Chain A
């Protein structure tokens, strides 16, 4: 087995999209050049993928692992860059490349003369980079990095038509769900750190699974971890109760919808479950949960599909229903079937979305339209006469309303998840910001004094982390001042570091906190600087709902704001990405529950910061925005 070559090919598959992204970013924006780069690199990737898969197949389809280097190596914590290739990864890799190559060829012409040609190809290469990272990742940590990259590039592509508020809104909606479900993966990876004493390698996991040796930790934690992973998978794959975001994400150019939501992104949840089967597959309970999620999804999605009067929504729900089936198949352990199903569904939906504009000609000129009715009458002939006249029509109406409202999942999620947070945030914001800061300083000082007593350490840390959550919620609930939101987010991150330090003021923790802050603080300051420039002449509070279109009027500032946004949410471009992980692992070192507030802050901060970016950078400029500037 030619290991060296395989290793190099693995690295190539991973690096090629990133190279293309960088090249396109540096290129002049000339369409032909971008097309040539994209075309060349998609072929190059094709060559590496095929060579890799051939070599791997000739070696006898092994579960192959390759440690490239160690990004971070400290006592008790390792972050190796590690690749893993097995049957599941191979199938996904192949499907990703095939669809990607088709889409690149398709978009070269399809996006001709589009203003965002460069932006589109950049994002799509970013997306493929993330996908390959997920598929080839050898550990949960790396997988999580890919997961985040895919999330951000989805967000950017949904908001591709940034002039209109609706794509921006829907991008934000998808992003919030992604962000929420990332908790599952982040906590999952944290727990695995705790349990395996390093980022768990999928290879060792699968060995354990094959040997039927239970991992050396309590069933309780294993169960929690399983649920978290299932949560992450459900969010990404738009399963119950998160079905609603997928059809609404169909805002970008049709091929991007096809590749993201028709073909690849939506099957990532399935991939995650396939990868982590050793973790959740031991016991019956997670399997039952998975089955129920799948079943509920199938029911809701297929009913919703019946009332979709637009073609993309219909395809989206059909696809969700199929992924629901995959979840059920997974819970029954039919992994090969799942893989086949994935391949088929991905190609089918991708194709359907690509040709969806032809539906009018197809229905009107080729097939002829028919009006199908929801007719329950024929099933009702055994009912008592007295209700035969009313019951079927009531059931029919009910079914229709259920389908029309798509099971009401969106309002449900909003009511349970976001509304409470928002109202707490709004309540906090009634306290003036200066007062807020004052209180925090006071409390932290008191806490610092208390620190002398070892006994109060946990209490002190607890109070600090509570403050951190409150800060995040304040950011979340604030509508009329981007700078305050930004500061709240930063404060919350600082408090996170503080609380961990208070809990465990040892030297390694101090170093890790520094690592964490070395990502957050520059991002915060940069963002603050950019926001000050942008908001100099804008009375934001007077019109908090207006999108300010900075990406259009001052693109450089928008780019800087975007970068600082990525930094402050701990995206894998700054050390803060590893820092978050480290903070969490320290936090949960003594008390696992302690990770929870940090997680909440992590999610909420991300959402609040994203909103600042969207509100300021997206939108269509008009004389109103000019009036602001000239004032």
Chain B
């Protein structure tokens, strides 16, 4: 930014530091990246320095959002037994209030809600600016927003419009200036007399002058700017995100929040001056400030409603104890002869930590107890940029917190595969393609009936007999080849190396194996299962893919990992480091399509021994998994046929009118870091992120540190994104996805001139039960303390209770809850016994909502 370097010592604003002010304001804006890589994060990231409940209250008063579910919902949970007395007692004790007051709260809990459940009076909706506009009787937002949004959308556009707005290296402000000064039709309203002279000034001067004329007094500048930006949080946030990280876009754009502020202020000044030619009162001259929330005063003062807080914590605690009590029953499994002494399993499978893989792992092991599964972050420790055969750009395949140093290219193995691209019909091609007016006329004149047929087919086709739709996951991938081995140590201009050396490969492979505690007793077949999701007509498709691969399908990582682990040179290095992978062991990569419940195996031209058996078991597991998923779908089949269920999930993933191809991370609740033995005989629904971890190999807590570094932000981010989007879908979430309109390929908005929507749509969260993530770590508190001491910034998540953190000591099975002040032993309810069932199907039958953790007693192994 050229303007920010300009000195800010101006006569009218020497004591008002614009840059500092913008930095303070910008912290309150949403930080959602462009939609192509939807990254789950804590929606209230900027409030993380506060305690969870206090943050909710402050955020509510800032954005005008709800903070909890309606009181009636909690009362209903209680009636249904979903909240138990034990949880209530715990939550009441947790308030730390004197007993008498606790008793008073307790009594008030069951009173019906007289006042309704509405958002508070907030800065964004009832602030100074709003009061001022009411006084002026101007609906300024309706006048200014369309102008600003249109400019921003055209500026950011990544490929929808036919004419690109910014020229090479042009910043947003330069574009605005060019269009208003060098066009025959001046850009409205920048040529209005009130502002036309200001266009050539520095940004700081413009902002100060406008603020002076609008707000009047320096004391209200900051609040005015904040309210102006919060009137369209989506676009303000997007400008800030791109300013901080221009690489978030494929086609780079130079923009700063300051430019947006200056442009908008100019617009406002121009319009207000034109409407009120004889002058108008400024914001600071508002006659009556009573009842208007003020920044730095009452807004920042949290005011937590005790009833709702107690209900919410009681609800969460009830859910937590369901898992903890179940874990307690399984603690014996840990001390049984460990896997080293057991017979070698037939096959081992690595899955992503993702809670959607929870059920498929259970089924796979139920079907064949000789299969052992592991959980790890879905990039399998291999981070790189990846450019597929048909990709225009390399994209990072790893959690967003990592910046990869390597690039992996895909090339075709079959000679003629190149021609397969663009083999869609003519109709497909012009679906959105850009054509001249005349051709447009011709097309729409001639092809309409074709579209009638196509439309009728896509809507009316019988769902079970679908045309095969080729996607990234199928067929083509098998014929391609990844360049993983580095042939040249020269980095390219971005400092990125093409491929990995054997030592680097051994590092990556060895690290992952140690993380998940698999260093001996390798099965002859190890399948690395990555996951992705296919859906049609879904702008939010990225949110369904693997969060640990920066919202991409994880197949390249799985393929790279398997290839590396299969290299004799890599195994040799690993052997020297004490990890002995026998020569009889084969690694196979695969991709689990979580929406269709299908699996694709890679590079298996010569199937290793045991592969057919595994494939067969997996197929069964997928069918049963599909049936378990169907229990959530109101319009799904109600029969007990696995095949029918599987057909149904496939038709969901391929219908253009299905807004819920899958329910994604709905109902995520637990994260379990520990050996699989602890959870192997539990039915945890599809609610737990599971990372394998061998506590006995990690006396210093370093492996745990690596795991938590990923689990806390990734799983915690997913959990909180769901929680907030569920609690107030219209402010924290993006509302119903049905009216969404794709803007510039960077986001969605309602209608053509709406603000960008952030968060998750209603269709993703409607069955979610909002509760904070509980992370359970199987390790002694003494070791965990060492890890926590090294957590750095992530410690905030634990200290301020954005996630709950529990240690389960592997020897004794004692459970401790982390708090800022130390570990508290967890009292389990005496009157709760963990429900049991023989097999998963027995649990799910007839159930359409979240199911408490069950013990599975039909163990075969």
Contact = CB atoms under 8 A, between A and B. Distances in A.
Interface of A: 98, 102, 105-107, 109-114, 160-161, 163-167, 169-170, 247-248, 250-255, 257, 298, 302, 305-314, 316, 318, 321-322, 325, 337, 340-341, 343-352, 354-365, 367-374, 393-395, 397-405, 408, 411, 479, 542-545, 553, 620-627
A312 to B, nearest CB: 4
A550 to B, nearest CB: 13
A627 B766 CA distance: 29
Nearest to A310: B743
A320 to B, nearest CB: 12
A344 B736 contact: no
Contact of A626 (B118, B134, B431): B118
B419 to A, nearest CB: 16
19 contacts: A161-B736, A167-B751, A250-B741, A253-B739, A255-B738, A310-B749, A312-B741, A340-B445, A344-B444, A357-B537, A357-B742, A360-B745, A363-B159, A368-B391, A372-B162, A372-B434, A373-B164, A400-B183, A401-B185
A398 B178 CA distance: 10
Contacts of B137: 479, 544
Nearest to A308: B161
Contacts of A161: 735-736, 739, 750
Nearest to B288: A542
Nearest to A110: B657
Contact of B444 (A164, A348, A397, A621): A348
A112 to B, nearest CB: 6
B179 A361 contact: no
Contacts of A306: 161-163
Contact of B745 (A165, A359, A403, A479): A359
A109 to B, nearest CB: 5
Contacts of A111: 738
A307 B440 contact: no
Contacts of B151: 404
B736 A253 contact: yes
A372 B164 contact: yes
Contacts of B434: 372
The SS class assigned to the A binding surface is helix
Contact of A358 (B126, B187, B536): B536
A623 B120 CA distance: 5
B449 interface: yes
Given A368-B392, A543-B134, A358 B538 contact: yes
A313 B536 contact: no
B456 interface: yes
Nearest to A247: B752
A371 B250 CA distance: 11
B179 to A, nearest CB: 5
B150 A404 contact: yes
A360 B537 contact: no
B176 to A, nearest CB: 11
Given A341-B445, A348-B444, A312 B752 contact: yes
Contacts of B194: none
A629 to B, nearest CB: 9
B159 A325 contact: no
Contacts of A345: 444-445, 448
B158 interface: yes
Given A311-B160, A371-B164, A106 B459 contact: yes
B162 A402 contact: no
Interface string B265-286: 0000000000000000000000
A251 B738 CA distance: 10
Nearest to B291: A627
A108 B501 CA distance: 55
B319 interface: no
Given A310-B742, A374-B162, 7 more contacts: A102-B460, A161-B739, A164-B750, A250-B752, A251-B739, A373-B163, A374-B163
B161 A314 contact: yes
A528 B163 CA distance: 52
B121 A620 contact: no
Contacts of B460: 102, 105
Interface of B: 35-36, 64, 115-116, 118-121, 125-126, 133-134, 137, 139, 141-142, 150-151, 153-154, 156-165, 178-179, 182-188, 250-251, 390-392, 431-434, 437, 440-441, 443-449, 451-452, 454-456, 459-460, 472, 536-539, 541, 634-635, 655-660, 730, 735-745, 749-754, 763, 766
B242 to A, nearest CB: 15
A105 to B, nearest CB: 5
Contacts of B441: 322, 325
A113 B162 contact: no
A314 B431 CA distance: 12
B162 A305 contact: yes
Contacts of A302: 437, 440
Nearest to B456: A102
A349 B431 CA distance: 10
A336 to B, nearest CB: 12
B188 to A, nearest CB: 6
Given A167-B751, A253-B738, A351-B455, A374 B437 contact: no
Given A341-B445, A348-B447, A398-B185, A254 B118 contact: no
A394 B745 contact: no
A305 B441 CA distance: 14
B187 A404 contact: yes
A499 B186 CA distance: 47
Nearest to B652: A109
A351 B444 CA distance: 12
Contact of B539 (A257, A351, A360, A394): A360
A343 B446 CA distance: 9
A354 B437 CA distance: 22
Given A105-B460, A623-B121, A314 B160 contact: yes
Given A313-B752, A365-B472, A394-B182, A360 B162 contact: no
Of all A-B residue pairs in the complex, the 10 with the closest CB atoms, nearest first, are A344-B448, A369-B159, A253-B738, A309-B157, A397-B183, A398-B184, A374-B163, A313-B752, A347-B452, A306-B162
Contact of B188 (A250, A347, A411, A545): A411
Choose among A321, A345, A350, A411 the residue with the greatest number of B CB atoms under 10 Å from its CB.
A345
Contacts of A322: 440-441, 444
A257 B742 CA distance: 14
A617 B133 CA distance: 22
A401 B183 contact: yes
A310 B455 contact: no
Nearest to B390: A368
Contacts of A316: 752
A369 B632 CA distance: 37
A102 B752 contact: no
A105 B446 contact: no
Contacts of A479: 137
Contacts of A411: 188
A106 B448 contact: no
Contacts of B451: 344, 347-348, 350-351
Choose among B455, B659, B737 the residue with the greatest number of A CB atoms under 10 Å from its CB.
B455
A361 B545 CA distance: 13
Contacts of B142: 165, 169
Contacts of A341: 444-445
Contacts of B153: 309-310
A401 B533 CA distance: 41
Choose among B118, B447, B634 the residue with the greatest number of A CB atoms under 10 Å from its CB.
B118
